[in-house]
């Protein structure tokens, strides 16, 4: 059942999907009609509701795609296709401790917090306080504050933690953090890096190898969506193709000989 302060996805149609925190005494409005949020409290997810205009809408439990589309984001955030693979390939599990730099608008932070669960922890670094304030508000909206620690520091000077399970980097020059990441990780821990251009791949890969990482891969994911119509199903004319490159590796224990 939906309670006050729950975050819901309010779905009217493919072009009108909204992320809302349910509050008593508040009203939601759109060009298709309005509804008092009090009337949503107590409903089951998936329920159909009627707007003031007579149009129908549906109350859904938010997916990470809904959260991605509904976040306040003054800067570009990582796409869900990249975030999903970054988390999957890292090998992290619920309850782990991971580091992230930089925070940005917080979509990767939120995705990690969801995946790591109540006993996990995301420690996220950024050098811009204004961006972290936006990320904090996004995380507060989703009631995930107790899973995330924010730090305002340049990780090129090193991390404050050690023996963490994984490190995720989304920053302009991650090669300058490779040695610090090695020092902060557990043996066999993963580093996963996102960069937007090909000239960054080689710099990152060499820096990881020189710092003691093995099993290094550089990959690109392309997602293609289809429109579904009777006798006219085909790829959509417009879509997201190139977004960036994922580089990943694992910490090895350096030989003492």
Q: Which of 46, 77, 66 is nearest to 114 (CA)?
A: 66
Q: Which of 186, 180, 145 is nearest to 165 (CA)?
A: 186
CB 154 within 8 A of CB 179: no
Q: Which residues contact 96 (CB under 8 A, 6 or more apart)?
A: 116, 120, 121, 165, 166
Cα–Cα distance for residue pair 99/159, rounded to 1 Å:
9
183 is in an annotated binding site: no
165 is in an annotated binding site: no
Q: Which residues contact 199 (CB under 8 A, 6 or more apart)?
A: none
108 is in an annotated binding site: yes
Q: Which residues contact 222 (CB under 8 A, 6 or more apart)?
A: 241, 242
CB 183 within 8 A of CB 162: yes
126 is in an annotated binding site: yes
C-alpha 140, offset from chain centre? 14
User: Where do we find the tokens 């961006």?
Assistant: 131
Name the region of 244 (left: φ>0; alpha: ψ -120 to 50; beta: rest).
Answer: left
Reading the block at residue 4, the tokens are: 């006050």
168 is in an annotated binding site: no
105 is in an annotated binding site: yes
170 is in an annotated binding site: yes
Cα–Cα distance for residue pair 166/151, rounded to 1 Å:
17
Residues at the binding site are 105-108, 126, 154, 170
Which residues participate in the annotated binding site for S-adenosyl-L-methionine?
105-108, 126, 154, 170
């Amino acid at each position: 059942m939906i309670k006050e302060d729950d975050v819901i996805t309010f779905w009217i149609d493919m072009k009108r999907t909204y992320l809302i925190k349910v509050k008593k005494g508040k009203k939601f409005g759109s060009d298709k009609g309005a509804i008092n949020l009090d009337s949503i409290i107590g409903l089951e997810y998936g329920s159909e509701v009627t707007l003031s205009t007579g149009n129908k809408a549906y109350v859904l439990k938010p997916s990470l795609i809904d959260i991605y589309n509904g976040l306040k984001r003054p800067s570009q955030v990582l796409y869900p296709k990249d975030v999903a693979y970054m988390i999957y390939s890292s090998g992290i599990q619920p309850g782990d401790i991971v580091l992230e730099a930089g925070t940005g608008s917080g979509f990767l932070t939120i995705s990690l917090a969801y995946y790591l669960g109540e006993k996990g922890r995301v420690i996220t670094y950024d050098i811009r306080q204004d961006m972290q304030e936006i990320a904090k508000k996004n995380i507060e909206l989703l009631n995930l504050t107790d899973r995330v620690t924010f730090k305002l520091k340049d990780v090129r000077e090193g991390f404050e933690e050690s023996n963490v399970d994984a490190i995720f980097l989304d920053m302009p020059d991650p090669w300058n953090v490779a040695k610090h990441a090695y020092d902060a990780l557990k043996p066999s821990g993963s580093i996963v890096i996102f960069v937007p251009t090909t000239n960054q791949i080689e710099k990152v890969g060499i820096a990881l190898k020189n710092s003691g990482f093995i099993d290094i891969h550089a990959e690109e994911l392309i997602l293609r969506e289809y429109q579904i119509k009777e006798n006219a199903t085909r790829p959509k004319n417009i879509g997201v193709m190139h977004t960036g490159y994922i580089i990943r590796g694992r910490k090895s224990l350096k030989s003492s000989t």
